[in-house]
Amino acid sequence: MENKDIVLGDISFPPRKVWIKTYGCQMNYHDSERIYGQLSKLNFTKTEEQDDADLLIFNTCSVRDLANQKFYSHLGETKKLKKENKEKKIAVCGCMAQTEGKEMIKKYKQLDFAFGTDVIDSVGEFVYRSYSGEDKFSVNTWDKTSDYSIETQITHGTPQAFVNIIKGCDKFCSYCIVPFTRGREKSRKIKEIVDDVRKLVDYQGIQEITLLGQNVNSFGKENSENLAQLISALDDISGLELIRYTTSHPYDVSDELIAIHGSAKKLSNHLHLPVQSGSNTVLQRMLRQYTVEHYLGLLEKLRKSNPNIVISSDIIAGFPNETEAEHRETLELLEKAQFDFIYSYAFSVRRGTKAARMDDILTKDIRGRRLREIQAHQVSIQEKLRKQMEGKVFRVLVEGSNAMKGVTKWKGRTNCWRIVHFESPENLMWHWLDVKVVEATAFSCQGEIIADYGKNPPSLYQ
Ligand code: SAM
Ligand code: SF4
Ligand code: F3S
C-alpha cells in the first residue's frame, strides 16, 4: 500500500510511528488502545521499538510509589533520545499526568506535552497542536458533561476486548489516589454498551469482553440502571462467549448481582472482590464501608448462587497504625475466605490522601515483613485449592505461547481465570480447547489437550 501523507488544516502528517508504554491497571491499557485508535487517523502506526518511534507516550499510574518510580526511571532514559533527535516528540498521559502534568512539563526538558485521564479521546488534537509548533503544554481538564458516551476502540486483532462501562470513583478510600486521578463516577447507558458489544462481536470477531471500571458495581446509579441488568442484556448477544468484569467494591455487591452469578450463561466463574484487610478497625480507618462479617457473608451468598465461582482479592499490608493483632486478623481472613489468588501490596503513602496524613505510618521493614507473611500464608492456601484441579477438565481460550528447547508450550486461560500450560506443535493461538489438568501447584497448572474447537466454536453455551 502506498504511504500517503494525511493533510489536516495547514499541516501534513506523513506516516509516523508511535510507541506507548503503559503502566497500571486495565483502565490504562484500555486508554492506550484508544490512543492508538485516535492516532491512526493522523497516520501513526504502532511500534514496539522506542528508537524507531517518532512519538513516545508514557501512560502513567500513580496508585503506589513503585509505579511512579518506574516511570521516572524510564523518563530519565529518554533525555538522551531527545538530545540525539530533537524531532522526536515525548508525551506523558494517564493518572500521574492528571495530577502532576503541569509540574512535569516544567521540570523535564525532554517532555513536549502532557494530558490527563479525562481528555484521552482528544489526543489527536494535542498531537496536532504539538506538530503545529506549540511548545510544552499540559491539559488536565475534567469533562463536565453529565453523560458518558464512547465507542470501544480495538486495534489489536484478538478476540478479547476491554469495554469501559463506568469511569471515575466516588468512594475515596483513605489510602487511594484514584478518585483524584480519575474524577467522579459516570456510567455509560446499557443500550449504548449493548450496541457497542454487538458491533464488536459481529464486525471485529470479539468473543470475550471484560467490563471495566474502578468500581463497576456502582455502574448505572445516575441512570437508574445497574450491573446485573447490563450483564443480563449482554448475556443474550449471540456470538459472545464470555463476560468478565473488574474491579468490584464489596459495598455495592447487590443480591441481584449475586443472583446473576448463578443465572447468566456467559458470566465468568471468577470474581475479583478486593477486601484490603481482615480487621474491622483497619477497614474503618480505610473508609471501606463494610465489615469483615459482611464481606464473608457476600462470599457465602456468591458461592451458594454459583458453586463453581472462584474468588480473588486485594490486600494492603501495614496500613498506618495497624497493630500486630490487626495484621493477624488479615491472616485469619485469608483462611476463612479461601481466595484463589490475591494481589497484595505494602501500604504506599499517596500525597493528598487521608491516610498520608495519619500519624503512625509504619516503617518500611514492618510493612514488608507483614506483606511477606500475607503472601506466604496465601501460597499455602492456594497450593491446596489448585491441587483440587488435578484430573479435572477445563475449557480454555489460548492466549500465548513460549518456545523452549524446541518444545512449544501454550498458555490458556480458564473461564475462572486460571492459567493452564500444555504442549503442542500446532499453532493453537486463540483456539478454544478442553484441557485436562495433570499437575497443579500454587503458581502453575500443567495440562493435556482433550479437545480442540478451533477459533470459532459453535456457541459454547447452547
Ligand atoms: N477499585 C478497587 C477497589 O475498590 O478495591 C481497587 C482499585 S486500586 C487501583 C487497586 C488496588 O491497589 C487496591 O485494591 C489496593 O489494594 C491497592 N492500593 C490502592 N492504593 C494503595 C496504596 N496507597 N498503597 C498500597 N496499595 C494500594
Ligand atoms: Fe480506590 Fe477505593 Fe475507589 Fe477502589 S473504591 S478505586 S480502592 S478509592
Ligand atoms: Fe493506576 Fe490510575 Fe489505574 S492510578 S491503577 S492507572 S486508575
Integer CA distances (angstroms), 90 to 54, 82, 210, 307, in order: 9, 8, 30, 50
Whose C-alpha lies nearest to ligand 2, atom 1? Answer: 176
Ligand 3 atom index nearest CA of 96 = 4
Ligand 1: which of 345, 364, 370 to mutate, most ligand atoms within 8 Å of CB? 345
> Residue 439: left if φ>0, alpha if ψ -120 to 50, beta else—which one?
beta
Asked if residue 93 belongs to a domain, the reply is yes
Taking the C-alpha atoms of 176, 215, 34 and 154 in order, what is their torsion angle to the nearest 10 degrees?
140
The binding-site residues of ligand 3, defined as CB within 6 angstroms of any ligand atom, are 24-25, 27-28, 61-63, 94-95, 177-178, 181-182
Is residue 275 lining ligand 2, measured as CB closer than 6 Å? no
CB atoms within 10 A of CB 247: 18
CATH code of the domain covering residue 28: 3.40.50.12160
Buried b (16+ CB within 10 A) or exposed e, 447-458: bebeeeeeeebe
The binding-site residues of ligand 1, defined as CB within 6 angstroms of any ligand atom, are 25, 63-64, 175-176, 178, 214-215, 247, 249, 274, 276, 314, 316, 345, 347-348, 350
Residues 286 and 355 in one domain: yes
C-alpha cell at 133: 509548533
Residues 29 and 98 in one domain: yes
C-alpha cell at 132: 503545529
Which of 268, 287, 321 is the last residue in one of the domains? 268
Residue 146 confidence (pLDDT): 86
Which of 98, 114, 139 is the last residue in one of the domains? 139
Smallest Cα–Cα separation from 131: which of 270, 239, 37, 8? Answer: 8
Q: What are the strands, taking DSSP E only, across 95-180?
A: 113-115, 137-139, 160-164, 166-167
Asked if residue 314 belongs to a domain, the reply is yes
Q: What CA–CA distance (Å, rounded) separates 80 from 251?
A: 48
Contact, 233 vs 274, CB < 8 A?
A: no
pLDDT means over runs of 10, the chain (462 residues)? 76 94 95 95 94 96 93 93 92 97 95 97 96 95 92 90 96 97 97 98 95 96 97 96 96 97 96 98 98 98 97 98 98 98 97 94 97 98 95 95 90 95 95 96 94 82 46
DSSP class of residue 204 equals H
Which of 268, 285, 304 is the last residue in one of the domains? 268
Asked if residue 149 belongs to a domain, the reply is no
Is residue 172 lining ligand 2, measured as CB closer than 6 Å? yes
Residues 187 and 161 in one domain: yes
Please provide residue 106's backbone torsions phi and psi, each rounded to the nearest 5 degrees. -70, -40
Residue 2 confidence (pLDDT): 54
Ligand 3: which of 20, 28, 35, 140 to mutate, most ligand atoms within 8 Å of CB? 28
C-alpha cell at 442: 500454587
Residues 94 and 66 in one domain: yes
Asked if residue 144 belongs to a domain, the reply is no
Residues 134 and 203 in one domain: no
Smallest Cα–Cα separation from 314: which of 353, 354, 286, 285? Answer: 286
Residues 184 and 82 in one domain: no
Ligand 3 atom index nearest CA of 214 = 7
| Distance between first and last Cα of the chain | 43
Residues 282 and 343 in one domain: yes
Residues 73 and 28 in one domain: yes
Is residue 173 lining ligand 2, measured as CB closer than 6 Å? yes
Whose C-alpha lies nearest to ligand 1, atom 22? Answer: 348
Contact, 43 vs 78, CB < 8 A?
A: no
CB atoms within 10 A of CB 114: 28
Whose C-alpha lies nearest to ligand 2, atom 5? Answer: 171
Could you tell me which residues come within 8 angstroms of residue 100 by beta carbon, excluding any fewer than 6 positions away? 62
Residues 399 and 293 in one domain: no
Site of grid cell 516503617:
363
Whose C-alpha lies nearest to ligand 1, atom 7? Answer: 214
Handedness of CA 123, 129, 131, 137 (dihedral sign): negative
CB atoms within 10 A of CB 106: 11
Q: What CA–CA distance (Å, rounded) separates 211 from 27?
A: 10
Q: How far apart are the CA of 175 and the centre of ligand 2, in A?
A: 9
Beta bridge partners of 314: 343
Please provide residue 10's backbone torsions phi and psi, each rounded to the nearest 5 degrees. -90, 0
Q: How far apart are the CA of 174 and the centre of ligand 2, in A?
A: 9
Asked if residue 52 belongs to a domain, the reply is yes
Is residue 27 lining ligand 2, measured as CB closer than 6 Å? no
Residues 290 and 326 in one domain: yes
CA angle 294, 358, 360 (to 5 degrees): 100
Residues 399 and 297 in one domain: no
User: Containing domain of residue 368, as a range?
Assistant: 277-387
Residue 95 confidence (pLDDT): 97
Residue 461 confidence (pLDDT): 52
CATH code of the domain covering residue 208: 3.30.750.210
Find how far residue 63's CA is from the centre of its chain.
12
Residue 462 confidence (pLDDT): 39
Could you tell me which residues come within 8 angstroms of residue 389 by beta carbon, excluding any fewer than 6 positions away? 418, 437, 440, 445
Residue 239 confidence (pLDDT): 92
Please provide residue 168's backbone torsions phi and psi, each rounded to the nearest 5 degrees. 80, 175
Ligand 1 atom index nearest CA of 215 = 1
Ligand 3 atom index nearest CA of 26 = 3
Asked if residue 124 belongs to a domain, the reply is yes
Residues 24 and 127 in one domain: yes
Whose C-alpha lies nearest to ligand 3, atom 1? Answer: 61
Q: How far apart are the CA of 339 and the centre of ligand 2, in A?
A: 20
Contact, 147 vs 261, CB < 8 A?
A: no
Domain count of the chain? Answer: 4
Please provide residue 32's backbone torsions phi and psi, each rounded to the nearest 5 degrees. -65, -35
Q: How far apart are the CA of 349 and the centre of ligand 2, in A?
A: 15
SS3 65: helix
